[in-house]
Structure 1
Amino acid sequence: MASSPLGRPTRGTTGTNRLRRNDRWIAAADAFRRAADPLVVDLGYGASGVTAFELATRLQRVRADAEVRGLEIDPARVATATAQLEEVRAGATSFPADLRVSFARGGFEVPLPDGRRAAVIRAMNVLRQYDESDVAAAWRAMAARLAPDGLLVEGTCDEIGRVASWIDVDAAGAPQRFTLSLRLADLERPSIVAERLPKALIHRNVPGERVHALLVDLDREWDRAAALSTFGATQRFLAAVSALRDQGWAVQGGRSRWRLGELTLPWAAVSPLP
């Protein structure tokens, strides 16, 4: 346990299923699926341990040996989550009593027992209160605790988990991919994600920046595909993403991911201009 965790406590906002889109992304990641030690850290989980329980439940459907370690700077939050875990162990919740979850105090230094390194570190809604200039150092600090092929997933979502975006960072602390993830059923415009961009991008949504150009183009293609709304929002989003790709945007993944309301591009496609 770290005596002086690096960072500041998060606001603590959390809720059931808030991070389900991000859970799904991690469960599909090669860094998790191929890990020799499938340890996943839920960093800054907030006032309740529920996101760690949900993450572990979803990951163990893919790998029974998956383990989640929840880390928080605030000792009171660690105590709360530990008490919740006791209820899980007693069979008093909907989560499996043998869920492989633990909680400890820690920040960006990501303390782990026995010299272990994480396959994945998830830090959602952690950097929102920091300055953009703090982001790279935070990435490097967290990435230093990853396994060699590990993955840091850092981003932001709304309070009910319908709008989210995140950045995949490798074990060297270098950003690799940007993903936005939207609930399509009641989506008005894809650019709503502008309010939930990661700290590295949220102040760059201005004319002349790449991420702004992406959101402008995505909104335009969403509007052009309005006629497909008759067949559902999913078909409309598929058409919009396909059109983006045809225009030269380096869209990754395929229709199976797009159907989930996900759009992923290489970091270079949206990275801030110097």
Structure 2
Amino acid sequence: MADHTRNLRAHNVRAEEGRGRPFGVVTRGTTGHNRLRRSDRWTVAHPRVRRLLLDAPHPLAVDVGYGASHTTTVEWASRLRTIRPDIEVVGLEIDPERVLPPRDGVRFELGGFELADYRPHLVRAFNVLRQYDVDQVERAWESVLSRLAPGGLFIEGTCDEIGRRAVWLLLDRDGPVSLTFAWDPGDVEKPSDLAERLPKILIHRNVPGERVHALLSAADQAWDRAAGWEPYGPRVRWRHARQMLIDEGWPVTPVRRNLRDNLLTVPWAAVAPEGWTA
């Protein structure tokens, strides 16, 4: 079971606005090469992201809380440049000691969820809000979403230490749009193993009666029924399990190309917490 004991509280964004102070707290900052590759692959293939970056006159992407190393931000920049070679990428860290000199065409600056007064087209925050209290999440979202460029998007999620299991939300200025699960086909025994990587807004909602619990339970059941495809490998087995979910009426986003990762994407409405009104 994941350790949630070291949750952190951020400054009240409303109290900090206009004072030139970053909004957030210093997190553990662990990272590693290719840790966010699953999210990056999904991002550069997403039609809405591609359209946004291709249409922007001067696209800007901001990586919030890149941690103790530049690695994942530089990798993200390299992958985004397959869409727009001229995209500007900035990494923000709230810890001044982690702010690095520019490298590989990426600038690193002091900042948090106030985005250092930038108005980016694309924002990413991975493994950051997971370390906050749940009642801080929507405030951080609000801070980011209110500062996006027109049509801007925000990817917020979490993954394991070496990036084999990842779950993230896509948000626009109106709030959450979709939830995506991505995993190494050879690393997961059943889809619900990803529950411990749910974003903070959902991590405590994986209980009977909640939509995200129902989705993961249905995914496990479909995975079990697809066991006959196991000799062909976990990718093939998951492809048939995912189709079973679609046939049962789950609004699963179709996967239209061959992928290295097992993926499950659903609209936010399919997993939103009971009583969600935002």
Which TM-score applies when normalising by structure 2?
A: 0.87
SS in 2 for 1:263: strand
Question: What are the ranges of 5 or more consecutive residues in structure 1 without an aligned counterpart?
Answer: 89-98
Counterpart residue type for residue 168 of structure 1: L
1:37 equivalenced with 2:80 (yes/no): no
Q: Deviations over 1:152-175 (max 9, x none)?
A: 100110000010011111123x11
Give the Cα separation in 2 of the matches to 1:126 and 1:166. 12
Contact 1:237 1:259 in 2 (8 A): no
1:105 equivalenced with 2:110 (yes/no): yes
Residue number in structure 1 paired with 2:273:
272
1:51 equivalenced with 2:75 (yes/no): no
Shift of residue 255 of structure 1? 4.0
Give runs of aligned pairs for residues 178-193 of structure 1, distance below 5 A: 178-193=179-194
Residue number in structure 2 paired with 1:17:
34
Counterpart residue type for residue 268 of structure 2: W
Give runs of aligned pairs for residues 52-67 of structure 1, distance below 5 A: 52-67=73-88
Distance 1:241 1:264, change over 3 A: same
Give the Cα separation in 2 of the matches to 1:54 and 1:243. 35
Residue number in structure 2 paired with 1:137:
139
Shift of residue 256 of structure 1? 2.1
Question: What are the ranges of 5 or more consecutive residues in structure 2 without an aligned counterpart?
Answer: 1-18
Identity of matched residues, %: 52
Counterpart residue type for residue 217 of structure 1: A
Give the Cα separation in 1 of the matches to 2:57 and 2:78. 19
Shift of residue 259 of structure 1? 5.9
Counterpart residue type for residue 195 of structure 2: A
Residue number in structure 2 paired with 1:4:
21
Shift of residue 62 of structure 1? 2.2
Distance 1:205 1:45, change over 3 A: same
Residue number in structure 1 paired with 2:221:
220
For the aligned residue pairs, the C-alpha RMSD in angstroms reads: 1.7
Contact 2:32 2:71 in 1 (8 A): yes
Distance 1:36 1:263, change over 3 A: farther
1:74 equivalenced with 2:79 (yes/no): no
Residue number in structure 1 paired with 2:250:
249
Counterpart residue type for residue 109 of structure 1: E
Counterpart residue type for residue 266 of structure 1: P
Shift of residue 258 of structure 1? 6.6
Q: Deviations over 1:29-80 (max 9, x none)?
A: 23334333221111000000111111111111222112210000000010xx
Distance 1:258 1:61, change over 3 A: closer
2:163 to 141, 161, 164: 161
SS in 2 for 1:228: helix
Contact 2:65 2:125 in 1 (8 A): yes
1:152 equivalenced with 2:154 (yes/no): yes
Contact 2:29 2:67 in 1 (8 A): yes
SS in 2 for 1:11: coil
Contact 1:124 1:155 in 2 (8 A): yes
Shift of residue 25 of structure 1? 2.3
Which TM-score applies when normalising by structure 1?
A: 0.88
SS in 1 for 2:178: strand
Contact 1:66 1:100 in 2 (8 A): no
- Which range moved further: 22-31 or 137-146? 22-31
